[in-house]
Amino acid sequence: MRSFDQSLPMALLSAREAMMRAFRPMLGRHDLTEQQWRVLRALTTTTDGLEVGELAENTLLLGPSLSRIVANLVDRGVLTRTSREHDQRRALVALTPKGRSVVAAVGPASEAIYDQIETHIGSGRLAEVLPLLSDLAGFDADLASTHVGELDASH
């Protein structure tokens, strides 16, 4: 077994927490949680909005949590939620003009944090780490579990 300081899950958690320690206070100044910001950012990728299921997948939020977040942001006037014929799972969520203004207001502060990260690790290393993280995110845990189960059975 690898040593604890060589644990990939722990290293990723540590890096995530370091990033969020930089972003959370900035988001708080804009009255946003990190989860709310994920939703707003995901919705900037489209002008038509996203179905709730796709939004959950893109933001890595569970359905019940996403429902509460969307309801809160709808109440605040930054999102719209349009139901599709008797199927709430297919509801369409989109940014309102106010929501686009919120994203535009947060954007410069977010970019300033990215500038600090680039200063800390270098722009080249930042450009290298994003594709590596994307590769790790594509790791098939079900396939790995099957192989580990086969290894366990052979002992």
SS3 state of residue 97: helix
Rounded to whole angstroms, the Cα distance separating 64 from 97 reads: 26
Share of the chain above pLDDT 70, in %: 88
The two structure tokens encoding residue 32: 């946003």
pTM of the predicted protein model: 0.82
Across 89-94, average pLDDT:
86
What's the pLDDT at 4?
A: 87
Per residue in 47-80, pLDDT (tens digit) is 999 999 999 999 999 999 999 999 999 999 999 9
Rounded to whole angstroms, the Cα distance separating 139 from 26 reads: 31
Cβ atoms 73, 62 nearer than 8 A: no
Between 149 and 94, the more confident residue is 94
HEC string for 108-123: HHHHHHHHHHHHHHCH
Residue 151 in this model has a pLDDT that exceeds 90: no
Rounded to whole angstroms, the Cα distance separating 96 from 80 reads: 6
Domain 25-121 has CATH 1.10.10.10: yes
SS3 state of residue 93: strand
Across 122-128, average pLDDT:
93
Across 126-143, average pLDDT:
85
